[in-house]
Structure 1
Amino acid sequence: MSPPSLLLAALHRLLTPSQPPELDMVTFSSQLCAASRALETSLPPPLRLFTDPYAELLAGPEALSRARARMVSMLHLAIPARPRIAIRTRYFDDFANSALHRFAPGKAQLVSLAAGLETRAFRLCELSDQVALFEVDRQEVFDRKERLLADVQPTPQVRAGSRTVVDADLAEPDWTRKIDEAGFDRALRTVWLLEGLLYYLDEERVTQLLREVWEISAVGSCVCFSVVTGLAKHYKKSDTLANYFKSAMPDPHAVLSEAGWSLDAVDQLGGPNANYGRWQTSETIGLDDWRSTRSTIYVSATKRR
């Protein structure tokens, strides 16, 4: 039998391919997230946090293989499974459904910035014909997504009144013109989802983007986003997406205030409001631990003026 160190080295080589260019890896992250959603969907109904029937197709075989290999590696190394993407997906689902329920029965909008391969247009229970839904991302993401969805039978049914994809680079302010041209209505209350986006942008751009969202939003609109409160100096795995993180947000209240938003809530991944009974840890997570530790947090805010 091989020594444990050799087994670990072989496993590391298997799970750590040559590191791709930054743009390719960040784009591939949408497939990795879809793979995580596919694995969650494969669980028995009483256990799964959501059902995403298109996740496996959108992920593709390479991302699925990598996601399954990581799960196997955790079992071999006796690491407790912590379904980060599944919890994040459910948290943002719940936020969107709750906000749309509050806005009903009037007209409203739901906008996903850096929508990637998410499929909320086809599965959120609070969508209705009174909701206009927009997905914003780069064209190469939509080229893959729309091509794959077009081949699905029966055709996926959009639960919103409309679904519009907007080709835009969120690193540039020009995205607001593009979403306006696509039919976005600045007079309607809007639910904004910025899931898995902001840590890939420079800190200055993060504040600018949140300000741009505020400027085109009607009073009463709300936003939810995920951020990290600190950046690690280095990571052992060369292909981890955290190597591409460019910013952290240790003080969401200050950033949101500067951008015009009123902070509503900060929930730490694994905390009381963001674990769904699936975060296997013996750690005690205090309400303000995110201020002093490097954590992933989910932040929500409202435009009140």
Structure 2
Amino acid sequence: MSSSKPDKEEEQEKESPCMNGGGDVASAGDDDNGGEVVGVGEEEEAEEPTTEREFAAAMAELAPEGVRALHARVEAEWGPVLQSACQTAAARALWGRAVRDPAAAVLAGERYLRGLHDKMRRDERAGAREVHGVMIAVRTLWFDARIEAAVDALGGDPQVVILGAGMDARAYRLNCLKECTVFELDFPELLEMKSDLLHEAMSSANHQKLTLMAKSLIRVPANIQDGDWVTKLQSCGYVPERNTIWVLEGIVYYLHHADAMQVLETIADRRSSACTVLLADFMNKNATSISPTMYHFYHDSPDLLLPSIGFSKVALSQIGDPQAHFGLLNHPENLFEKLRRLPRSLEKNPEDGTPCCRLYFVEASASPDDQIMCPLDHYLE
């Protein structure tokens, strides 16, 4: 892929329904569930992850020799930050009973599938309160659900910009994007590898075909730590005057403070031209200490930070909250439930002295005129 020319996939026939992992995402007027996301376990008791079946299915997707050769390059040439995109894809593949992502296994690769599979199997055998990968599964489902709600609130055809897109495949699996132009922005080498992997997989006679669910998909090779990423985005077709959903999943905390604030403030500034919706996850300070060489930016109160830079409505959730559960956290003493019961101001659990490492899911909106409510605002009240 050339760094100066986007890889654009034109509109294709839409064949499969929107899958968000916990069941179909219903419209706001759906009589069956009132527009709520039906999670695993809400209509029937959730089962333990069918790890072996999911692993076998995922490994079968890696049969093409070209796919294996490309992943050998990933393992040899990529650093830990880029490789984290494959780890995320592995979690989506092995939690396939919840996150139905037909491209996840191909984008993950054998190394990360095997590594996560071994951890999940150990957790299940030990009766662990939470199984490896569940945080990624819940995070994915939360973003899916909020994208659906935002698209609906903005009339069905906003732009969707995924910053630090990694191995995200929402353009291929969310039917709610059928009238949306989706922009995936990330490092040039990552987007090129992603495109090559999908091409190799789809060239195989045995691989299930992927259908582009979005109206169009434009890949934008750029580094959001550089000052010209918005210029590159606009050169690829992004229109500042159109309503836009900005998706920052698993990216903000990899940035240094100045870079993270530059990105957030740049997005907030878009409100002068159109309705702007931000979906992002934030770590608190303790969480970044898990890997201080990789994680840098944190904020203990992102629901206070975002209004200070121009967002008018902000809603915050934690894993395990009703809107961030999806029937995947059923042990009453799981880690996330314990954290929810503790005040956010506490840095350590008073019971055992362990640090309170939190991941916050945040949705925010802003509009050109603060006196005019963004269509999404009523979802956040």
Q: TM-score, normalised by structure 2?
A: 0.66
Task: Report SS of the residue matched to 2:344.
Answer: helix
**Residue 227 (structure 1) aligned to one of 282, 295, 317:** 282
C-alpha distance in structure 1 between counterparts of 2:194 and 2:297, whole Å: 28
Taking the TM superposition and a 5 Å limit, the aligned residue runs for 1:41-52 are: 41=96, 48-52=97-101
Q: 1:76 to 1:287 in 2, by over 3 A?
A: closer
Matched length: 273
Q: CA deviation at 1:144?
A: 1.4
Q: Is the 8 A contact 1:290 1:297 kept in 2?
A: no
Q: Is the 8 A contact 1:111 1:135 kept in 2?
A: yes
State the AA in 2 paired with 1:199.
Y
Equivalent in the alignment of 2:146:
95
Q: Is the 8 A contact 2:303 2:315 kept in 1?
A: no
Q: Is the 8 A contact 1:268 1:290 kept in 2?
A: no
**Residue 365 (structure 2) aligned to one of 285, 302, 305:** 302
Q: Is 1:251–2:301 an aligned residue pair?
A: yes
C-alpha distance in structure 1 between counterparts of 2:166 and 2:308, whole Å: 28
Q: CA deviation at 1:233?
A: 7.8
Equivalent in the alignment of 1:73:
122
- Return structure 1 stretches of 4+ with deviation > 6 angstroms: none
Equivalent in the alignment of 1:55:
104
Q: CA deviation at 1:220?
A: 2.1
Identity of aligned residues (%): 26
C-alpha distance in structure 1 between counterparts of 2:190 and 2:153, whole Å: 31
Q: 1:222 to 1:232 in 2, by over 3 A?
A: closer
Q: TM-score, normalised by structure 1?
A: 0.82
Unaligned runs of 5+ in 2: 1-74, 347-355, 369-381
Task: Report SS of the residue matched to 2:285.
Answer: coil
**Residue 205 (structure 1) aligned to one of 259, 267, 272:** 259
Equivalent in the alignment of 1:171:
225
Q: Is the 8 A contact 1:231 1:247 kept in 2?
A: no
Q: 1:232 to 1:54 in 2, by over 3 A?
A: closer
Q: 1:245 to 1:270 in 2, by over 3 A?
A: same
C-alpha distance in structure 1 between counterparts of 2:161 and 2:265, whole Å: 15
Q: CA deviation at 1:272?
A: 2.3
Show CA shifts across 1:196-245 (max 9, x none): 0011112232221111112235432201101112235855xxxxx56511
